[in-house]
Amino acid sequence: MEKIVTAYSRQEWSALDVLRLPETLVTAEDKLELVLRRGLIDAPILHEFACRCAERALSRIDNPDTCSVAAIAVKRAWLRGEITNDQLESARDAAYWAAYAIANDAAYLAAYGAAYYDAKYAAYWAADCDAKAANDKGTELAWQVETLIQMLEDDA
């Protein structure tokens, strides 16, 4: 055990350091909980990650609600500086009410989370959607960790 602690002892950790820790030491869910926050990862990456998680969750639904799909497109337009905060807020509200109308289905909440900004909640709801679809939640969490690693490496 001492060798493990020594091997992973350091003063500062980057998001990539945490995400690359062995699953035997830190679960994918805990890794995401630790890194999906402002300051550790640049905001544009968090926004895009939230969009990807929401898209993946919505892809599991036949005929997803158009407001939820549009919320992701609007978020990306906002990231490119093409629309205002007010327009983003309107799309976010539409996605929220779409989720509310169908009893807060996790995939729609993931789209709302993506539009609202919170990558942590978009990722959580996407994983929850996978679990409710009788899929392995662990598979979704592993996809999220690998996707985030790739995004951070591409940004470096």
pLDDT tens by residue, 49-77: 888 988 888 887 777 778 778 888 888 99
Whether residue 128 is contained in a domain is answered as yes
Asked if the model's pLDDT at residue 134 lies above 90, the reply is no
Whether residue 3 is contained in a domain is answered as no
Total tally of structural domains belonging to the chain: 1
Whether residue 28 is contained in a domain is answered as no
Residue 55, classified by CB atoms within 10 Å of its CB into exposed (0-12), middle (13-18) or buried (19+), is: buried
Asked if the model's pLDDT at residue 122 lies above 50, the reply is yes
**Per-residue pLDDT band at 37 (split at 50, 70, 90):** confident
Per-residue DSSP letter, 146: H
The whole-model pTM stands at: 0.78
Whether residue 19 is contained in a domain is answered as no
* Residue 1: per-residue pLDDT: 37
Whether residue 146 is contained in a domain is answered as yes
Quick one: what percent of the chain has pLDDT higher than 90?
24
Residue 45, classified by CB atoms within 10 Å of its CB into exposed (0-12), middle (13-18) or buried (19+), is: middle
Whether residue 134 is contained in a domain is answered as yes
Residue 154, classified by CB atoms within 10 Å of its CB into exposed (0-12), middle (13-18) or buried (19+), is: exposed
- Alpha-helical segments (H) within 9-105: 15-19, 28-35, 43-58, 66-79, 85-101
pLDDT (average), residues 37-49: 87
Q: Which structural domain range is residue 131 located in? A: 41-155
Whether residue 145 is contained in a domain is answered as yes
Residue 24 in 3-state DSSP?
Answer: coil
Whether residue 141 is contained in a domain is answered as yes
pLDDT (average), residues 86-114: 69
Dist CA 46 CA 146 (whole Å): 14
Q: With beta carbons less than 8 A apart as the criterion, state whether 115 and 77 touch.
A: no
